[in-house]
Amino acid sequence: MAASRLILFPGSFPGVSSRLAGFGGKLCSSTRFCSGGCIKEIRDEGNKFRRCIQYSGEGARLAVINEGVLVKENFVSEREEEELVKEARSSFRRVKYEYDHWDGVIKGYRETEKSQWRSQSNQSVIKRLEKATLEASGGEVTAPAAMMNNSPPNSLLLSSVHVLDLAKDGYINPHIDNVKFCGTTIAGISLLSDSVMKLVHQERKDDWILMLLPQRSLYILRDLARYEYEHQILPDSLSYFNNEHIQRDNRISIIARTKPFKTT
């Protein structure tokens, strides 16, 4: 995301495996995760989003139960992924990976905001992403009109999506997206690599959530999970889920966000 939009709340990089030893909940079933994507669907009861989530702490449990965090596997097909990567990479031609973000939030990345996509396939994936973001942000649609941007549901979304290319050795440190630039809901597609997103409550460090983000999946972060938990994409050395190392490779994410509430 654009540098100015990130707020880093200095956090540690606690050892994931030691925390896993005592995790309080596991919503991804006991099935082993294989890089081919054999994650067993958990009890889902009509919700079309699958969850690949582990958590510890009462706040985290509530965030999970209230669907503040969701993961849906295979949101894009392999073919769609290829097209997205091709167009995303063409935006990055001759752009080098950066390792010196001004506040240290992110290492080994390049990024852009994109409002137009050339390929029809990409346009249709972005529409799906935006629809999923809007659906997930249902609370926002019903928020008091005075707090909104006074506009119909479609314009609840930021007009561009954020394309973020993380090098194999790149990672994102704990942060909360700046409320001035982003509303209640963040939705991202993960391409090229599996990864693990970790959320830690900004005050209660033993209140945490791990989200396994398989290649080609969609994740949603919203409400308290978005406002009260710092999120991060773990570097390969800390990339563990359910006691398994989830190998991190070069990863491209495409992220849609709702608009912030008006503050004046």
Contact set with ligand AKG (CB under 6 A): 1, 6, 164, 172, 177, 188, 231, 233, 253, 255
142, with CB counted inside 10 A (0-12, 13-18, 19+), is exposed
d(CA 228, CA 166): 24
Contact 97, 164 (CB under 8 A): no
Residue 148 or 233: the one with the smaller Cβ distance to ligand AKG is 233
Tell me whether residue 11 or residue 24 sits nearer to ligand AKG (CB atom): 11
Smallest gap from residue 38 Cβ to ligand AKG (A): 22
At what angle are helices 78-91 and 120-136 packed, to 10 degrees? 100
CB burial of 207-245 (b: ≥16 within 10 Å; e: otherwise) equals bbbbbbbbbbbbbbbbbbbbebbbbbbbbbebbbbbeee
In this complex, which beta carbon is closest to ligand AKG, that of residue 156 or of residue 187? 187
| N-term to C-term CA, the chain | 24
143-153 burial code (b ≥16 CB/10 A, e <16):
eeeeebeeeee
Nearer to ligand AKG, 125 or 164 (CB): 164
Whose tokens are 């930021």? That residue is 158
- The least CB distance from residue 150 to ligand AKG, in Å, is 26
CB of 111 to ligand AKG, least distance (A): 8
* Closest of 164, 160, 165, 182 to residue 114, by C-alpha: 160
To the nearest whole angstrom, how small is the minimum distance from the Cβ of residue 262 to ligand AKG?
A: 21
Give the shortest CB-62-to-ligand AKG separation in angstroms: 22
Residue 188 C-beta: closest distance to ligand AKG, Å: 4
Q: Choose between 148 and 187: whose C-beta lies nearer to ligand AKG.
A: 187
Of the pair 24, 113, the CB lying nearest ligand AKG is at: 113
The four Cα atoms 57, 196, 255, 11 give a dihedral, to 10 degrees, of 60
Residue closer to ligand AKG by CB (options 177, 223) is: 177
Query: CA 227, CA 140: separation in Å to the nearest integer?
Result: 14
CB of 105 to ligand AKG, least distance (A): 8
